Amino acid sequence: MIYSLLLGENEGGISPRYQANNTLFILHITPTSILPQGRKQNSKNNKMNRGELIEVKISEYAFGGRGIAKVPTGDGDFVIFIDNCFPGQTVQARITKKKKRYAEAKLVDVLERSSEEVVSDFQEISGGPYIYVPVEQQEEVKKEATLENFQKLSHVEDVASKFDTFISSPNHFHYRNKMEYSFSNIEHIPATGEEVDNAFALGFKRRGTWWKVENLNKPSGLFDEEWETKLIEIRNYLKATNLPAWHPPKKHGFFRHIVVRKSFAEDKLLLNLVTSSEGLKKFDAPAFGKFIQELMGDRIAGLWHTVNDNVADRAKIENGNSTLLFGTPKINEELLGLTFEISMESFFQTNPKCAELLYTKALDYVFEEEQKDDEIIMDLFCGTGTIGQILTTRKQNAKVVGVDIVEEAIIDARKNAKRNGINQIEFFAEDVGKFLKEHPEFQGKIGTIILDPPRAGIAPKTLLKVIELGAKNIIYISCNPSTQARDTATLIENGFSLEKLSFVDQFPHTGHIESIAKYKKF
């Protein structure tokens, strides 16, 4: 196995070759990296400081969408990790963490494009940093970087031999079913780098900032094209009310957010305009509703207006007092023939067409193993019960148990199952670690466990309790392969083997990737 060595084997610098555990590490040196003023980095005492702006060329891609730049010094290359960069780009970045042998930085601007990039008519936003990189190149670097990272963290020998398939998103553009847009009284103008106060901006926050917004003047390529094309008209209408956009540093203003959910099955949009109460009496909400209906026609399923005076920048934007101005409060989406009701607050797969492929592959892994008639398939962290319900359509006599600690999710799961006419699945709002104590009737009857935890993964103690459930097979769906790889090491220590591993590109044009792993008790 050959790896790219990111850090040196000693404090003084990086050796060009390093042999360990029969694994050869080879450095890829890029001597063209430069500092802002074009100075070479100080050879012994690295003068790069936290908060400093630098200009560097990206030479490699690391897991999670991190670009790697290498600055030559007299003691070897100094390595800098920068989020959301692509090999070949020259970028401006700000140092956020500084160590002796490496630094971490946040991307400020792309100064020179990679030769791989093809600039299109889409507007580049912070949430889609690779919108100009051909999808084939995105998928290639994601696959290789994720395999390398997985092997490093899982300690599985030759992970590549376990690799099954890479699942590409059916739609590479306009695939998202939810988008959140921010207002700000402070506008960032990308063309000039200027920051304008007392403005009225509606779009996305400038990368690396929380206080200023770049107007979205044309589609981003990630969400509904018609909606984002007409967002300028919505911005102009709201600006004409003379009510101010939110001022994040001063924590006052009126317009705060617009949240949009989309049903691909119905081709409908559900909107939520979030404002403060400051100037509420001057806002004609019914008139805005009429304007939206005239602008978008019957594509608008419903319009909510939420008044939220929580000044915290990271406050959940759906909080507050909400009023349905017109239409329906929810929309419906379909996954593999089943219908799911979605509210503004519901968790649902962001890329439903790709989620169908993800769930299909996960269930392929489930049914590769023989299921005895008295065995239970347990869906842990089941949320609204999507995968468990789809499973019953593959095998109608399967016995499925869904467990999630979030009671509201379980309530929605039961409603969805009833709507879809599914009776052979039970849902429990329980703590996974205490489940068998509360329900001893399932002891020794669990054949397969499907895990679909949140991005942080499974807490180590919880994973051990999952192992204690006694399943012969575990199918683990992860939105963060790093935590899955960490958990793989624990599963192996407790008698499981990694049988298969697949990757799913649910979020094209970003550094995110999802994975599905199959484990078997030996």
* Domain of residue 27, CATH code: 2.40.50.140
CA atoms 311, 313, 316, 322: torsion sign: positive
If asked whether residues 84 and 100 sit together in one domain, one would say yes
Give tens-digit pLDDT for 108-144.
999 999 999 999 999 999 999 999 999 999 999 999 9
In 381-495, beta strands by DSSP E: 399-404, 425-429, 446-451, 473-478
| Residue 146 included in any domain | no
Domain boundary among 331, 363, 382: 331
Residue numbers of the domain that contains 187: 178-331
pLDDT at 417 over 50: yes
Q: Do the domain assignments include residue 511?
A: yes
* Highest-confidence segment of 3-12, 420-429, 450-459: 420-429
Q: What is the mean pLDDT of residues 387-403?
A: 91
- Residue 163: what pLDDT? 98
Same domain membership, residue 82 and residue 163:
no
Least confident span in 37-51, 236-250, 337-351, 424-438: 37-51
The residue type of 309 is D
Pair 372, 309 in one domain: no
The answer to whether position 134 is within a domain reads: no
User: Measuring CA to CA, how many Å separate 210 from each of 110, 247, 268, 380?
Assistant: 19, 11, 30, 35
Mean pLDDT of 433-454: 87
DSSP structure class, residue 341: E
Contacting residues for 292 by C-beta, under 8 A, at least 6 apart: 234, 271, 300, 303
Instruction: Determine how many CB atoms are found less than 10 A away from the CB of residue 321.
Output: 10
> What is the average pLDDT across 214-225?
98
Residue with token string 């963060």:
480
At which of 285, 312, 331 does a domain end? 331
Both 204 and 351 in one domain: the answer is no
Same domain for 327 and 376: no
State the Cα angle at 439 between 438 and 444, rounded to 5°: 130
Residues of the chain with pLDDT > 90: what percent? Answer: 73
Same domain, 388 and 446: yes
Q: Is 479 a catalytic residue?
A: yes
pTM for this entry: 0.87
Nearest C-alpha neighbor of 209 from the set 109, 131, 130: 109
CA-to-CA distance for 120 and 511, rounded, in angstroms?
Answer: 19
**In terms of domains, do 268 and 284 share one?**
yes
Chain-wide mean pLDDT for the chain? Answer: 89
Assigned domain for 127 exists? no
Decide if 129 is inside a domain: no
Q: Of 85, 354, 382, 479, which one is the catalytic site residue? A: 479
Q: Does pLDDT of 371 surpass 70?
A: yes
Please compute the mean of the pLDDT values over residues 472-501 and round it to a whole number.
Answer: 96
Residues 6 and 107 in one domain: yes
Establish if 184 belongs to a structural domain. Answer: yes
Specify the CATH number for the domain of residue 209: 2.40.50.1070
Choosing from 304, 331, 358, the residue where a domain stops is 331
Phi, psi of 454 (to 5 degrees): -65, 175
Same domain, 327 and 340: no
DSSP string, 82-113: EET--TT-EEEEEEEEE-SSEEEEEEEEEEE-
The kind and range of the H/E element at 186 are none
User: Is residue 140 one of the residues assigned to a domain?
Assistant: no
Q: Tell me the two tokens of residue 209.
A: 């900032």
Separation of alpha carbons 78 and 8, rounded Å:
9
Position 15 pLDDT exceeds 80: no
Same domain, 494 and 383: yes
Total domain count, the chain: 3
Q: What are the structure tokens assigned to 353, written together?
A: 């067409």
User: Which residue, chain included where needed, has tokens 């800098």?
Assistant: 80
Give the tens place of pLDDT for each residue, 70-104: 999 888 899 999 999 999 999 999 999 999 889 99
In this predicted structure, what is the pLDDT of residue 395? 87
* 246 close to 255: Cβ distance less than 8 angstroms: yes
* Per-residue confidence band for 313, with pLDDT thresholds at 50, 70 and 90: low
Whether residues 286 and 187 share a domain: the answer is: yes
Residue 239 has pLDDT above 50, yes or no: yes
Structure confidence at residue 464 (pLDDT): 92
Could you tell me if 317 and 196 lie in one domain? yes
C-alpha distance from residue 140 to each of 134, 135, 147, 360, 446 (Å): 10, 9, 11, 22, 38
Query: Sorting pLDDT into bands at 50, 70 and 90, what band is 456?
Result: confident
